[in-house]
Amino acid sequence: MKIFEALLSAHSGSVERFVKYRMPPEDADDVLQEIYITAYQKFETLKNHDSFKAWILSIAKSKCNDYFRAKAKRMEIPLDDLIERSFTYGKNGRTAASVVRDTLETLGDKDKQMLYLYFWKELPQAEIAKKLDIPLGTVKSRLHIAKENFKKAYPYPPKESKGASVMTKALPKSLPKYTITKSEKAPFDVKHEELPGMLIIPRIGEKLTFGMYDQPQNTLTGFYTLQVNTPVIIHGVEGVEIEKKYVEGTEIQDDRSIFAQLTDRFCRYLGAIKAEKNGAKKLMTFLDEDFSLAYGIGEDNCGFPVHRTAQGIITENQGALSANISGDVSDIVGRYSITINNKRYDTVRLIFMEDRILTEQYLDQNGRTILWRRFNRNDWGLERYGKPWTEKLPENERLTVNGAVFVHWYDCITDYIL
């Protein structure tokens, strides 16, 4: 069975991500063991070894469903309902989609029927009329009433965010001067739902533009526009598609989508559209081996926690930072007053440290980014840039982190503050 061992070694990461994205961590290892045992026992039935990944993932899907069936039996929950929700309730928390379903349950039968046929089954109104044997005008009227009743019952009604309301405002060509003043007050806890690195909340209807300003020139070198329009399901995991454009000057340099998930506990990436050299577009998801390098954040790619509080993981002493654990780590470190664009903001400083890169993000009490700053360890990208950052940007601010020097590279602001 050396062939089986080699194939399993090559694809075990995908299987683990498939399972761990679906269920509580305390149960995942047992399910994984059942998957591997079943795959070993049935390996001889696999005729084409090139199909091993798809084959073992089909076993994983079956074992996950077995897990939820057993759970349904123990908890006396209807099977179909539990399996549908199993991808929504997991170690990463509860998604907006489950709130939608809960809201539907509060509506009357006619409202539920109309919304189900129109939105879930995607039937045209004329076909609904034929199916229910009622006039088309009645369908239009019932659908309108059902939509209004849903809006009234939904606990998170759509509202125009501050970022969305200023989408037409252009980002300034030069970064407004800002001051960062440390406060003696204790850091406040904050609900932070922004997607790491993209600064947008992955919720339907959200829009955002953010600009990147090189230092020390303070000049706008490019900007992103992002918009969340469509719910998606990737390998059974619910999320949203974020349309992303990157512009330099007047030219669009990047026009691709990313996929993310926001729950009541975590915010994380699910995948992205990746451009191939031949011009083709490839969907890269959390099951792919190279996903972690590009988009993986947190243990098992769980992403950033939504509820942030200062934990003492990263500490500051006389301006120098230190982290008491290794690997990717983030923590709130201090409270600061930011003055920018003639406005003052009370913020906490969220620091994220990964391999040779540090970012600091100043969040207001709404959990929105006021200022985002990028620092590079002195040897980051040395082969690409040809010299250490202390020589490349000698005038820029420096931070010391665990004894290593990090140099300020660029800043970002969003249209939230305009």
- Please name the residues in contact with 395: beta carbons below 8 A apart, sequence gap of 6 or more: 216
pLDDT exceeds cutoff 70 at 75: no
Taking only the tens place, the pLDDT of each residue in 272-285 is 987 776 778 888 88
Residue 226 shares a structural domain with residue 349:
yes
Of 48, 65, 86, which one is at a domain's C-terminal end?
86
Q: What is the mean pLDDT of residues 193-203?
A: 93
Residue 220 tokens, joined? 């706008």
C-alpha distances (whole Å) from 63 to each of 8, 19, 43, 74, 79 are 17, 9, 16, 17, 15
Q: What is the mean pLDDT of residues 67-71?
A: 74
Of 113, 132, 153, which one is at a domain's C-terminal end?
153
Residue 109 shares a structural domain with residue 249:
no
Lowest-confidence range among 243-247, 253-257, 332-336? 253-257
Of 59, 86, 113, which one is at a domain's C-terminal end?
86
CB 302 within 8 A of CB 266: yes
Q: What is the CATH number of the domain that holds 57?
A: 1.10.1740.10
DSSP 87: T
- The average confidence (pLDDT) of the chain is 84
Q: What is the mean pLDDT of residues 350-364?
A: 93
Residue 140 shares a structural domain with residue 173:
no
Residue 7 shares a structural domain with residue 54:
yes
pLDDT exceeds cutoff 60 at 150: yes
Q: What is the pLDDT of residue 337?
A: 97
Q: What is the pLDDT of residue 81?
A: 45
Residue 169 shares a structural domain with residue 309:
yes
pLDDT exceeds cutoff 80 at 131: yes
**β-bridge partners, 358:** 353, 375
Residue 351 shares a structural domain with residue 251:
yes
Residues 162-201 as b/e (b if ≥16 CB within 10 A, e otherwise) read: ebeebeeeebeeebeebeeeeeeeebbebebbbbbbbbbb
Q: What is the pLDDT of residue 363?
A: 97
Q: What is the pLDDT of residue 148?
A: 86
Taking only the tens place, the pLDDT of each residue in 6-27 is 999 989 888 988 888 777 667 8
Q: What is the pLDDT of residue 88?
A: 46
Residue 179 shares a structural domain with residue 254:
yes
Lowest-confidence range among 129-143, 292-306, 351-365? 292-306
Q: What is the pLDDT of residue 98?
A: 57
* CA–CA–CA angle 254, 259, 265 (5° rounding): 135
Q: What is the pLDDT of residue 206?
A: 92
> Is residue 187 in some structural domain?
yes
Tokens 């919304």 sit on residue: 115
Integer Cα distance of 256 and 277 in angstroms: 15
Q: What is the pLDDT of residue 76?
A: 45
> Is residue 127 in some structural domain?
yes
Quote the number of domains for the chain: 3
Provide the percentage of residues in the chain whose pLDDT is more than 90: 46
Residue 309 shares a structural domain with residue 389:
yes
Using pLDDT thresholds of 50, 70 and 90, give the confidence band for residue 73: low
Q: What is the pLDDT of residue 387?
A: 93
Residue 35 shares a structural domain with residue 182:
no
Residue 308 shares a structural domain with residue 366:
yes
Residues 102-140 as b/e (b if ≥16 CB within 10 A, e otherwise) read: ebbeebeeebbebbebbeeeebebeebbeeeeeeeeebe
Taking only the tens place, the pLDDT of each residue in 377-393 is 999 989 888 999 999 99
pLDDT exceeds cutoff 80 at 31: yes
Q: What is the pLDDT of residue 84?
A: 44
Integer Cα distance of 144 and 294 in angstroms: 43
pLDDT exceeds cutoff 80 at 263: yes
Q: What is the mean pLDDT of residues 178-201?
A: 95
pLDDT exceeds cutoff 60 at 165: no
> Is residue 219 in some structural domain?
yes
76: containing domain: 2-86
pLDDT exceeds cutoff 70 at 121: no
Which run of H or E residues covers position 12? helix 2-20
Q: What is the CATH number of the domain that holds 116?
A: 1.10.10.10
> Is residue 412 in some structural domain?
yes
Taking only the tens place, the pLDDT of each residue in 398-415 is 999 989 999 999 999 999
Using pLDDT thresholds of 50, 70 and 90, give the confidence band for residue 249: confident
> Is residue 91 in some structural domain?
no
Q: State the pairing for strand pair 219-234/320-323.
A: unpaired
Q: What is the mean pLDDT of residues 289-294?
A: 74
User: Which ranges constitute the DSSP H helices of 264-380?
Assistant: 291-295
Residue 367 shares a structural domain with residue 234:
yes
Q: What is the pLDDT of residue 122?
A: 64
Integer Cα distance of 25 and 23 in angstroms: 6
The Cβ-side half-sphere exposure at 284, using a 13 Å CA radius, reads 20
Q: What is the pLDDT of residue 93?
A: 58
Predicted TM-score (pTM) of this structure: 0.69
Residue 244 shares a structural domain with residue 354:
yes
